[in-house]
Structure 1
Amino acid sequence: MKQIRFDRFGLPSRVAYCVEVEDPGPPSPWEVLVEVQACALNPADLARLSGRYGELPQLPATLGLEAIGRVMACGASVDQLCEGDRVILLGNENWCQQRRIAASLVHKLPPELDPLQAASLKVSACTAIELLRRQSQLGPGAWVIQNAPLSSVGRAVMQVARHDGLRTLNVVRRPEAVSEVLAAGGDAAILAGDRLVQEAKATMGYALGGLVLDAVGGEGVAPLGELLEPGGTIIQYGMLSGQPTQLACEDVIFRDINLKGFWLARHLAQVSHQHRDGLMSEATDLLAKKVLQAQVAATYTLDEITAALRHFETPGRRGRVYLLPNGPVQHLYSGGHQDHG
Structure 2
Amino acid sequence: MLSFRIGKQGSCGNLMEIDTPAPGPGQIGLEIHACALNFADLLMVEGRYQDTPPLPFTPGLECAGRVTAVGDDISEFQIGDRVAVFGGQGGLAEFGVFDAARAVPLPASVGYDAAAASLIAYGTSLLALEQQARLQKGETLLVTGAAGGVGLTAVEIGKHLGATVIAQARGEEKLAVAKAAGADHLIDASEDLRLRVKALGGADVVYDAVGGETWKAAFRATNPGGRLLPIGFAGGEVPQIPANHLLVKNLTVIGFYLGGLVSLRPELGRETFDKLMRWLAEGRITPHISHRLPLSETAQGLELIRNRKATGKVIMQPRPETTG
Is TM-score (shorter-chain normalized) higher than 0.5? Answer: yes
Given that 2:107 and 2:278 are in contact with CA atoms closer than 8 Å, whether structure 1 keeps it comes out as no
**Residues 1-341 of structure 1 mapped to structure 2, 5 A cutoff:** 1-10=1-10, 15-25=12-22, 27-28=23-24, 30-75=26-71, 77-92=73-88, 93-192=90-189, 195-203=192-200, 206=201, 208-247=202-241, 251-271=245-265, 273-330=266-323, 340=324
C-alpha change, 1:174 and 1:101, in structure 2 (3 Å) is closer
Structure 1 or 2, whichever has the larger Rg, is 1
Task: Quote the Cα distance in structure 2 between the aligned partners of 1:133 and 1:71.
Answer: 32
Task: Quote the Cα distance in structure 1 between the aligned partners of 2:173 and 2:60.
Answer: 32
C-alpha change, 1:73 and 1:7, in structure 2 (3 Å) is closer
One-letter amino acid of the structure 1 residue matched with residue 75 of structure 2 = D
C-alpha change, 1:327 and 1:175, in structure 2 (3 Å) is closer
Task: Quote the Cα distance in structure 1 between the aligned partners of 2:197 and 2:81.
Answer: 47
Task: Quote the Cα distance in structure 2 between the aligned partners of 1:18 and 1:101.
Answer: 20
Q: CA deviation at 1:261?
A: 2.2
Given that 1:6 and 1:49 are in contact with CA atoms closer than 8 Å, whether structure 2 keeps it comes out as yes
One-letter amino acid of the structure 2 residue matched with residue 289 of structure 1 = E
Given that 2:121 and 2:153 are in contact with CA atoms closer than 8 Å, whether structure 1 keeps it comes out as yes
C-alpha change, 1:180 and 1:296, in structure 2 (3 Å) is closer
Superposed CA deviations along residues 70-102 of structure 1, whole A, max 9, x for unmatched, are 011334532222221111113222211222333
Given that 2:207 and 2:230 are in contact with CA atoms closer than 8 Å, whether structure 1 keeps it comes out as yes
Superposed CA deviations along residues 211-247 of structure 1, whole A, max 9, x for unmatched, are 1111111122222123323232211010112213144
C-alpha change, 1:141 and 1:301, in structure 2 (3 Å) is same
TM-score by length of 1: 0.87
One-letter amino acid of the structure 2 residue matched with residue 276 of structure 1 = G
Task: Quote the Cα distance in structure 2 between the aligned partners of 1:118 and 1:60.
Answer: 27
C-alpha change, 1:150 and 1:34, in structure 2 (3 Å) is same
C-alpha change, 1:55 and 1:249, in structure 2 (3 Å) is same
Question: Tell me, which stretches of 5 or more residues in structure 1 are unaligned?
Answer: 331-339
TM-score by length of 2: 0.91
Cα root mean square deviation, aligned: 2.2
One-letter amino acid of the structure 2 residue matched with residue 287 of structure 1 = L
C-alpha change, 1:192 and 1:278, in structure 2 (3 Å) is same
Task: Quote the Cα distance in structure 2 between the aligned partners of 1:28 and 1:201.
Answer: 55
Question: Tell me, which stretches of 5 or more residues in structure 2 are unaligned?
Answer: none
For the residue of structure 2 that corresponds to 1:280, the secondary structure is helix
Deviates more, 1:128-137 or 1:77-86: 77-86
Residue of structure 2 equivalent to 1:333: none
How many residue pairs align between the two structures?
A: 323
Task: Quote the Cα distance in structure 1 between the aligned partners of 2:64 and 2:16.
Answer: 21
Given that 1:221 and 1:246 are in contact with CA atoms closer than 8 Å, whether structure 2 keeps it comes out as no
Task: Quote the Cα distance in structure 2 between the aligned partners of 1:99 and 1:144.
Answer: 38
Residue of structure 2 equivalent to 1:337: none
For the residue of structure 2 that corresponds to 1:220, the secondary structure is helix
For the residue of structure 2 that corresponds to 1:261, the secondary structure is coil
Task: Quote the Cα distance in structure 1 between the aligned partners of 2:101 and 2:308.
Answer: 38
One-letter amino acid of the structure 2 residue matched with residue 299 of structure 1 = R
For the residue of structure 2 that corresponds to 1:329, the secondary structure is coil
